[in-house]
Structure 1
Amino acid sequence: MFSVSRLTTSMHSLKARLIVSALLLILILMPLIGFGLNDAFKQQVKSASLNELKAYVYAILAVTEVNRDGIFMPEVLLENQFNVIQSGLYAVITTSRTPKEAASNSASFDAKFVEKTDSTATSSHLPPLNQVQRIAWRSSSLLGIEIPKSLPNPVKGQGQFSEVTLNKQPHLIYSFSVSFELPTLDNKDVKQSDNRFPITIHIIKDQTEFQQQVSQFTQQLWRWLMILMGLLLVIQMAWLWWTLKPLSSLETELNAIENGKANQLTHEYPTELQAVAQQLNTLLSTEQNQRKRYRNALSDLAHSLKTPLAVIQSQSDLSAESFEQVSYINRIIGHQLKRAQSAAGSAWHLGVPVVDVSDKLVKNLPKIYCRPLIAIEQTVQRDAIFKGDQADLSEILGNLLDNACKAAKGKVLLSVTHNAQSLIVQVEDDGNGIDKALQAQIFERGIRADSYKMGHGIGLAIVRDLVDSYHGQLSMGQSDLLGGARFTIIFKS
């Protein structure tokens, strides 16, 4: 099951961050582009429809004649869709006069107006849309269609583009208002305003074609955007692989150095990583030279101390107590020198195949412990790597196997396994084991377990200190397989 901790761990990876960033960029940017293009196309189609309706308005306006007898329109319009019943393209002319005008001198004109318009209308009576707006004329394509009670009524000289429901279907409508100047009468009582006749021309078009264009464009747009998103994902993954390839090479080389398969970084890296690679190579060379000088100095110190101690021990008049103390000092110096020589603190880049060391020990130790003959068996995974110094590994395995041979009756078993997290070393024998009362104290400094014939002395202390220097875990118990003691060491990878 996916967990928050797993997500947090993966987000520490530079590769994961780049992949997530690329995905977010694509998944957010592409839909925004899609919505923007789709909206722009809708506006463009609407603009085209508006221009088309405007052209129809001017076409209707060009053939419209108005006098005091009414509005005169051709029986057949040039645009054939206005002549076909329910064709989807309709035209309506409405007139709007204020109630005051409707009640004044224009009353006689209204009667004539209605009489004249009856000849071009689809019914014997054209009902008013409201108190001030009436239908003056409508195209033949509106036969059998109920006109909405309220139509747009823009100010004179202005147009209005909107939507209207006709026959329960959405339609686009463009309304344009104009005013015709009527012929002048000799009657001086007629006001100047009565000589102007305002009308509004409405062009109505079905939205089916508009919606089809938008729908087809939307489908094609998102189809291509999905294809583009897929291509971008492939390109992004290829780009990320190419960009991060030097980091993968650096990781591979570092693993090789850590496992002892290489001593330097040898690949050619980009400019940004080349300086890091050079610094790492300098650090590795410096550390190797320093460790070599340090070990040479320790060897010189050990050699210089060994001779004075040997001279002191060779004195004939040396008391037994003094001789024991000198021997004790000799052991302590040897122990501390071996501990100081450990490369655990600085040998992170070293790697030693365990089998190379274990094979030599298993081959040579039976020659020492031949009476009684001790059989040493090993079960070592051939690819197990000890990430440290070979001398340290030899010291650890040598002391554990040496102690096991001293305590064993006839058999010692060495087992080495590893996984991605740790290296596990176990040494078991078929001896009498170690008293449980001493197991809790045996790793304390100065405690000596004499339950073995030749004892666990300074060798076990060396093992403990070396294991601690590698941040490993050393434990002991009873062997389930052989019945004697069992020492277990775990080194974390």
Structure 2
Amino acid sequence: MQLIRSLKGRVTTAVAIVLTLTFSLVLISVLSSFNDTVEQAAREQMASNANTMLAAAAKEENGALVMPDTLADRRFNTPGESTLRGYIFDATGKLIWQSISTDNKPIAYTPNFDLEQRVTLSILELEGKSFLAYEVDALLNRHSPGYSFVTIVPAKRYLDIINVFINNLYISISLISILILGFFWLALWWTLKPFRQVSRQLNEIESGQRSYLEGSFPSEVQRLTDSINTLLHSEQKQREKYRTTMDDLTHSLKTPLVVLQSFSNTLKIQSETPDKGVILDLCSNLNTQINKMNQIIGYHLHKSITGQHGLTRQIISVQPIIEDLRDTLNKVYLEKQVSMRIELDPSCLFHGDEGDFLEMMGNLLENAFKFCEREVLLTGFIQAENRKQASELILIIEDDGPGIAADERDLVFQRGARADCQKPGQGIGLAIVRDLVEGYQGSITIETSDLGGARIVISLPC
């Protein structure tokens, strides 16, 4: 079972089956052809012997066949000669003549006597040995009742020829099969060499001895190695990105931590001579710094997850996620009493990571709730211009807020840039959304809504 699980084992099994079937057919065909050839040679040889008896049986007297004392072939005339025996039967199957070589011994043979077929060749078992019996049925003249001229020769010679040929054929096919399998194993070893090289280099990558797959590979393998190198490069960049993010996070938190330390010292002093106003001011500043730290941590966490996407993608239903976000935002902005309409086609599905989609829609809907007056509209549908073009998921978020000016629409996609500084926020939401959308080979645009506010359109491939 382990052999079949390997590529080499599968190919070897397939070749062995093909060779077995091929050589079986060849063996059957060659043996059939050889048997026909040997039989034809035997017929020709024995036909010559039968013609000797036919030539001697030249006349009939008073309806009886007249045969000479001896025949031209001396083997017929030698008593006890086992290499050639002759018999003549009449039309009724009665033995009427036999050669001297038969020693007048009876023969258990029944002639076929068929003037249409005329000639038959069969194998007899006599005295524990195999013989070839050749029968010629003929009429000596128009008034002749007809006779069966039968010659018998030992079959050993012909059977030996067939057996030797079969043995040689089996040996030849076996040797050829071994040679073919040997050459095949060499060819397979050479063919699978790139895969062994890839496997060895992957082991070295796992052990830290190399970073990428290197070398010249066949075109069929090159695509695989390129994909693996792309994933390795992406993973390395991601590690570097995490490292950089942690460094940036550490650096960004240094100032707030120094401020918090200063506040701590001040509180220690105030514990001796409390001043309520100072303490309240310190608490407010502490909350400000804590919120700032939360924003910084959130920013760097988001930064660490925006990047290359994996090869495996999920199929996410859009409707439930939008409804959950709506319910959550309604609680956050309860005082605004926002009315959000959802007009989604049931076929709307997102192909990707659920966390990415939640991050995109969460940022967009939170901005819509934050900047709207009372109304938010989300529309979604699947768009495909033609059969050759891949379908796209189109999502449109609109609000009745102040909107975004045309000259600021590119600016708001930059990290830290904000169009409205009156509202709380750090200005990274739309930048995160754009990074995620572009990571999925999609697009995002900002327009003016018929509701009066911003109209954000995102297109994501399905």
Q: TM-score of the superposition, structure 1-length normalised?
A: 0.51
Matches within 5 A, 1:350-369: none
Aligned 8 A contact 2:111 2:148 in 1: no
Partner of 2:322: none
Q: Secondary structure at the match of 2:210?
A: coil
CA 1:299/1:18 → structure 2, altered by over 3 Å: closer, same or farther? same
Q: Which residue number in structure 2 is paired with residue 63 of structure 1?
A: 56
| Deviation, structure 1 residue 43 | 3.0
Query: Which of 63, 71, 75 matches 1:81?
Result: 75
2:127 to 167, 173, 178: 167
Q: Which of 91, 94, 98 is matched with 1:134 structurally? A: 94
Which position in structure 2 is the counterpart of 1:438? none
Aligned residues: 291
For 1:157 and 1:311, the matched residues in 2 are separated by: 121
Structure 2: which amino acid aligns with 1:291?
Answer: R
State the Cα deviation string for residues 298-354 of structure 1 (Å, max 9, x = none). Answer: 422332123112212221333699899999x999x99x989x989xx999xxxxxxx
Q: Distance in 2 between matches of 1:206 and 1:317?
A: 128
SS at match of 1:230: helix
Please point out which of 256, 261, 267 is paired with 1:318.
267
Deviation at 1:230, TM superposition (A): 2.5
Please report how far the alpha carbon of residue 151 of structure 1 lies from its aligned counterpart in structure 2 after TM superposition. Answer: 2.4
Aligned partner of 2:217 among 262, 266, 269: 269
Contact 1:177 1:200 survives alignment (8 Å)? yes
Contact 2:120 2:135 in 1 (8 A): yes
- Spell out the pairing of 1:323-342 with structure 2 (5 A cutoff): none
Q: 32-41 vs 52-61, which deviates more? A: 32-41
Partner secondary structure for residue 234 of structure 1: helix
The answer on 1:155 being equivalent to 2:115 is yes
Quote the offset at 1:248 in angstroms.
0.5
| Residue number in structure 1 paired with 2:66 | 72
CA distance in 2, matches of 1:157, 1:310: 120
Looking at structure 2, the residues matched to 165 and 10 of structure 1 have their Cα atoms a distance apart, in angstroms, of: 51
SS at match of 1:214: helix
> Which of 84, 87, 91 is residue 86 of structure 2 equivalent to?
91
Alpha-carbon shift at residue 144 of structure 1 (Å): 4.5
Do the aligned residues in 2 keep the contact of 1:145 with 1:166 (CA within 8 Å)?
Answer: no
The residue aligned with 2:8 is 15
Partner of residue 48 from structure 1, selected from 41, 44, 54? 41
Gap change, CA 1:158 and 1:151, over 3 Å in 2: closer
Q: Normalized against structure 2, the TM-score is what?
A: 0.54
1:240 corresponds to which of 188, 200, 209: 188
> In the superposition, relative to structure 1, how do residues 260 and 149 fare at CA in structure 2: closer, same or farther (>3 Å)?
closer
1:179-198 correspondence runs (5 A): 179-181=139-141, 195-198=143-146
Offset of 1:31 from its aligned partner?
4.9
Counterpart of 1:158, as a letter, is R
CA contact (8 A) 1:257 1:264 kept: yes
Q: Aligned letter for 1:284?
A: L
Residue by residue over 1:78-121, the C-alpha shift from the partner in whole angstroms, topping out at 9 and shown as x without a partner, is 2222222332222211111xxxxxxxxxxxxxxxxxxxxxxxxx
Shift of 1:67: 2.5
Unaligned stretches of 5+ in structure 1? 1-6, 97-131, 183-194, 348-493
Q: Could you tell me how far apart the structure 2 residues matched to 1:296 and 1:157 are?
A: 100
The superposition leaves residues 355-380 of structure 1 with CA deviations (integer Å, 9 ceiling, x where unpaired) of xxxxxxxxxxxxxxxxxxxxxxxxxx
How far residue 135 of structure 1 moved from its aligned partner, in angstroms, is 2.0
State the secondary structure of the residue aligned to 1:181: coil
Question: Are 1:265 and 1:281, in contact at CA under 8 Å, matched by a contact in 2?
Answer: yes
Query: Unaligned stretches of 5+ in structure 2?
Result: 272-281, 311-462
Partner AA of 1:272 in structure 2: E
Higher relative contact order (CA 8 A, sep 6+): 1
Do the aligned residues in 2 keep the contact of 1:175 with 1:201 (CA within 8 Å)?
A: yes
One-letter code aligned to 2:66: F
Verify the 8 A CA contact 1:86 1:142 in the aligned structure 2: yes
Cα RMSD after superposing both structures = 3.8
Q: Which whole-Å CA distance do the structure 1 matches of 2:172 and 2:15 have between them? A: 19
Retained in 2: the 8 A contact 1:57–1:203?
yes
d(CA) in 1 for partners of 2:156 and 2:95? 26
Q: Contact between 2:98 and 2:104, CA under 8 Å: does it hold in 1? A: no
Report the CA distance between 1:13 and its aligned residue.
1.4
